[in-house]
Amino acid sequence: IPKVVDVPVLGQLLYQLNVNRFVVGMMARGHVYADPHWLTGERSREKRAVTHARGARHASIRFVSGRLDPCRSREQFLDAARRITVPALQLFAAQAPRKSRAEMQALAALDNIQTVQLAQGKLSFYEEFPEHAATAIADFLGDPRTD
């Protein structure tokens, strides 16, 4: 798919079909935000503005298709994560999509990864519920203001 999106004109057309207001709204309501009304008005315009940046379609399709990932498999990713020797924190939301949540739970099973599963949110929980993400990060870092 990334090769098709790279083709001038055809690629631009396919990309625009996938980043129109309807499709972006459907994705946002489906797996990005817990509150279906969170991405409206100015927030929606700001999010969609990045889709008009020069070359945006190339990064976007590679992100969605997994082509930006340096690891080609879950096991390769987990092997890399096992080698982390400094404190590492993973945050994810309970309502994350099934496939994404499975990957995050696999990472959470590692002894060297501290994981906090937040009760609210989907993939962009840090935007929708920034106070919950900030508290979890501050706790991990040992912020005395959270004691």
Question: Is residue 98 over pLDDT 80?
Answer: yes
pLDDT at res. 3: 87
- DSSP three-state, residue 125: helix
Phi/psi of residue 74, nearest 5 degrees:
-60, -45
Instruction: Tell me the per-residue pLDDT of 40-84, one tens digit each, with 9 for 90 and over.
Output: 899 999 988 999 899 899 988 888 888 888 899 999 999 999 999
pLDDT at res. 122: 98
Q: Do 95 and 52 reside in the same domain of the chain?
A: no
Of 39, 64, 89, which residue sits at a domain end? 64
Q: What's the domain count of the chain?
A: 2
pLDDT at res. 128: 97
Cβ neighbour number for residue 123 with a 10 Å cutoff: 21
Report if residue 40 sits inside a domain: yes
* C-alpha dihedral sign at 64, 98, 33, 137: negative
Of 64, 88, 107, which residue sits at a domain end? 64
The answer to whether residues 15 and 9 touch, using CB atoms and an 8 Å cutoff, is no
Report if residue 104 sits inside a domain: yes
Instruction: Tell me the per-residue pLDDT of 12-39, one tens digit each, with 9 for 90 and over.
Output: 999 998 888 899 899 999 999 999 999 9
Q: Do 55 and 89 reside in the same domain of the chain?
A: no
Q: Do 93 and 45 reside in the same domain of the chain?
A: no
Report if residue 69 sits inside a domain: no
Instruction: Tell me the per-residue pLDDT of 105-115, one tens digit each, with 9 for 90 and over.
Output: 999 999 999 99
- DSSP three-state, residue 86: coil
- DSSP three-state, residue 135: helix
Cβ neighbour number for residue 117 with a 10 Å cutoff: 15
H or E element, residue 100: helix 98-108
- Span of 30-34, 51-55, 119-123, 133-137 with lowest mean pLDDT: 51-55
Of 19, 35, 64, which residue sits at a domain end? 64
Domain span at 137: 74-146
